[in-house]
């Protein structure tokens, strides 16, 4: 009798075992990869948080340029309202995707807060403001000292400052996920969410950084 030939049952069992092992290994690798990605995301968020202004920090006035080129000092003591600084750049993809959120916030809360737009780039700024019908004062040309004091690096960024010059809130990035919920809870508003149209939805995995000079 030839005993070297395996029965169909043994062959099927062996194949099933191999498939099962492959599936287990695949699931294990996916779990490990997901854990690794979460760790990387958490570490990135921690690094970003360390670079941001802390709530409670007192910030100085800023000397900025208006769209007409005239200089102006932005002082928080000039108003009884808290100030919302919205930092952006015209080429920023996430700024474009966040535009409906910000304009909704501006429309609903402009009676309670003073809104100021601050662009980290002058490139196409006048056209950008007109195209998006931004109904708020927009400035640019922040001094290096003020940029360091406010710890600005990426866009969009939203900083809420009290009339005493104290930071009340600081959000880095577009209003999505948990951050959208935080913004909505702070201002007691409902936001429409990020744009998904082709014009706004270009390549971007994180807030774009200011281009080097």
Each residue of 137-166: pLDDT tens digit? 999 999 888 988 999 878 999 999 999 999
pTM, rounded to two decimals? 0.72
First to last CA, the chain: 84
Residue 78 is given by DSSP the state G
DSSP SS3 for 131: helix
**DSSP 3-state helix, strand, coil percentages of the chain (rounded to 5)?**
40, 20, 40
> What is the distance of C-alpha 40 from the center of its chain?
17
* 117 or 148: which leads in pLDDT: 117
DSSP SS3 for 183: helix
Q: Can you give the C-alpha Rg of the chain in angstroms? A: 25
* 25 or 102: which leads in pLDDT: 102
* Burial per residue of 151-168, b for 16 or more beta-carbon CB atoms within 10 angstroms, e otherwise: bbbbbbbbbbbeeeeebe
Listed range (8-12, 132-136, 185-189) with the worst mean pLDDT: 8-12
d(CA 115, CA 138) in angstroms, rounded, equals 9
User: What CATH code is assigned to 62-187?
Assistant: 3.40.30.10
* pLDDT of 14 over the 80 cut: no
């Amino acid at each position: 009798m030839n005993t070297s030939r395996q029965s169909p049952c043994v062959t099927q069992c062996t194949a099933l075992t191999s498939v099962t092992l492959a599936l287990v290994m695949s699931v294990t690798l996916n779990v490990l990869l997901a854990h690794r990605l979460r760790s990387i995301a958490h570490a990135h968020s921690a690094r970003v948080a360390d670079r941001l202004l802390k709530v409670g920090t007192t910030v100085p006035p800023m000397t900025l340029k208006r769209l007409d080129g005239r200089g102006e000092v932005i002082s928080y003591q000039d108003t009884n309202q808290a100030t919302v600084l919205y930092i952006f750049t015209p080429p920023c993809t996430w700024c474009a995707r966040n535009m409906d959120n910000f304009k909704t916030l501006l429309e609903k809360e402009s009676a309670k807060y003073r809104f100021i737009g601050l662009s980290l780039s002058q490139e196409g700024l006048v056209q950008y403001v007109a195209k998006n019908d931004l109904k708020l004062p927009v400035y640019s040309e922040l001094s290096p000292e003020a940029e360091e004091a406010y710890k600005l690096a990426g866009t969009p960024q939203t900083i809420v400052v009290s009339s005493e010059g104290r930071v009340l809130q600081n959000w880095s990035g577009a209003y999505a996920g948990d951050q959208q919920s935080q913004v909505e809870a702070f201002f007691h508003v409902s936001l429409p969410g990020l744009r998904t149209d082709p014009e706004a939805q270009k390549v971007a995995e994180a807030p774009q950084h200011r281009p080097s000079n």
